[in-house]
Structure 1
Amino acid sequence: MPRTPRSRSLRWADVAAWRLRRHHLRGPLTAPEPWQAVKDVSAALCGLHAQVMSSAEQAVAARTRLPDAGAAVREALWERRALVKTWAMRGTLHLLPAHELHLYVAALRDDRRQMGDRLLAQQGLTPGDVAVVLEALPTALGEDRLTREALAERLTAVTHDRTIGEKVRSGWGVLLKPAARRGLLCFGPNDGRNVTFCAPRYRLGADDERAERSTPTDPAQALGAVLRRYLHAYGPASPDDFARWWGTGTPEVRAALSALGDAVTATDIEGHRSWALRDDVADMAPAPTGDGPLVRLLPAFDPYIVGPSRQLVSLLPHPALRSKVSRTAGWISPVLILDGMIGGVWKAQRRVRHTEVEIEAFVPLSSGVRRRIAEEAEGLLAPGDGHGITVRFA
């Protein structure tokens, strides 16, 4: 790991202020076209968490203030093909920039921690099943866009093994995630209520093909390139922070960090040893608050929280509040952000004529801050069709 004679001392307020800028939460990201803004947000955040698509759309809205972020995301994903929906880090669904897909695939290719024998056994599967699917999938999928049922039938025909098709039908995602990590499969537009799958190579444009040729193919080098991007969005961070986000082991991350050499430097954040890109550290100073804290409402599974999840306690006013943000079964609550720190959680319920937003604050809120929260809710959640927003504080 790179060594420096002295660590830069920072406060969590410094880090939070810097991350707000990097996440385009202090000033919205703009682009000539809405779909380009979506692509740029995805690239800046190392992908958008897409287990819940509405959360991905709200994450874009929070950073762009587009009047219809959902439409912009769909255009970027399905029409412009600037994004790819696929299983990536931690085996979870993400919207990745199409021109960077090959980088993530290269970094994920040899990481077997995300699909261990124990997980396979829990689903009644074996490593042999995975090997069969990986070999047969390119032929079975071809250039087509197939539902899971149709893909299972194709795999049965190619392998002459009916049990493979049955396992693809019953073991949702488990046999397909390794193929996604190899770059053999991604999601296509839905067929009615059914998801579809296709081969990424038939969705890539000329620019993406050129990006593929310049992407490192060695998994260790690719992991280092992803780590650099991660630090630029979520740094300073420790090897454990990145390992949790990526879903890998800390030794691999330490090796990648060491390979970055003088491009990174050590920092001390109120006693927490972390690393940042050397060029970023100079900008890590609190932004002036002016007449009050910067208020942002972020959706469930927002990258601002998921990316540095091991640092969650340091962003809260009290450690006991962690369970309100990071809940059971891996659920990450929508959060209220005040100057980059977590000031509460929120939930919204859409009614016939209006949406009710309930704020559970972790800190006292002045009347001025409450007005800003109401304005933020209006900007984030109002669809512009006369549908009203009602905000109440628990």
Structure 2
Amino acid sequence: MTNHYGVIKQVMLSNRERVGKGLELLSQGLYPYVEQQLQEAYPDDWETQAKKELPDYKSTKKKDIKEWLSKDTGALLTVISKKWDDVFQKSIDKPEKRIVEELIETRNYWAHGDEFSADDTYSAINGMVRLLKAVKADEEIIKKVEKHKQEVLRILVQEQNRQENWQTKAAEARIISKLSGLLEQLPFQDASLLQDALTHRSYLYENPKEAKTDNELLEFLGDAVLNFLSGEYLYEKYKEEKDEGDLTRLRSALVEDKQLAKFAEQLELGKWMRLGKGAIADGAKDNLSVLSNTFEAIIGAYFLDSQMNAVRDFVRSLFDSVIEEIIAVSPQIDDYQTDTPQIAIDPKNQLQQWVQKNQGAILPQYRVIKEEGLPHDKTFTVQVSINGKVYAQGTGSTKKEAEKQAAGNALKKLGLL
């Protein structure tokens, strides 16, 4: 029981009390070293030499200099400082002299009853540890001081975590308040992820201190999630009625830019998107590509936030709202040549179908070969290769647009467009 009380008492020490404990241990660790160095430098009168550096000694009732030095940390540190050039610089390095001076100030503040912050306490005790190690003090004493140091560090980390948590919660509250309307439709657990998904690269470029990232990686993830979920949706709904070609065309229609932009408009993403002033002036709020890309980023972020089932439920309601209309304007068709009105197939999907039909189970490979322009206004050049052979290039303001153009140019080269 006594041990537990002792542990609790140590943890509950104030910063000033902890500095005081450290100073007591410091004097215990320093005194043997100071006495030894003074004896070596002044074999016959080391005590007299020590007294000369302590003008207050004469005014005290203490007669034994040894007793005073062994118990008064300030006196010990003063002697080291005053006798540095003649005695102590020979055995410890110059940086330790600065520590000695700082610890003299610490001891004076403590003696005057000043309070210490956690940062000041850690700095003081860390200096004590360094000085004790420099003079090769008793290991047990060093361990005791280091224990105080670790406890202060733990308190510092706790304070920092509390501060960071408070800041995070405050920032989260601001985001939730700002995006409350959108969060009613997309119940994100982490509203900051939703904000990231709404952040266009133009906003990040103009506000680098406020915005931590743009939405392009989330857009990449969302594109993959949408392709999977649209394929799953169509397979489950029409596997008995339609063949692979029909389902591929329907999937292209569900996730093409125009359709995704319509989904974005239903969510009114234009008013929630974080855009740079230049992008706003250029009409980005109503830009089909920007809306489509932002919707994909929202899906990517929602997947990270709430996992696949939540995203599946959300997009299926959107798919249900448009699939009948898409089918109505898309009669059964064969291959790519027909005079019947049909869905415009995404060029990347069309190229993939041609490759797998004519060259086997391989996929076209897309590679960015050039990036030009400012970070918020880039132009990408992408080349598409099939089985190691470069077929075409394409450019666009996003990698996805450039890939689509490259695929379209490859289809033209193959005589399919």
Q: TM-score, normalised by structure 2?
A: 0.22
Structure (1/2) with the larger helix percentage: 2
Q: Which has the higher contact order (CA 8 A, sep 6+)?
A: 1
Structure (1/2) with the larger strand percentage: 1
**Which of these two proteins has the greater Rg computed from alpha carbons?**
2
Q: TM-score, normalised by structure 1?
A: 0.23
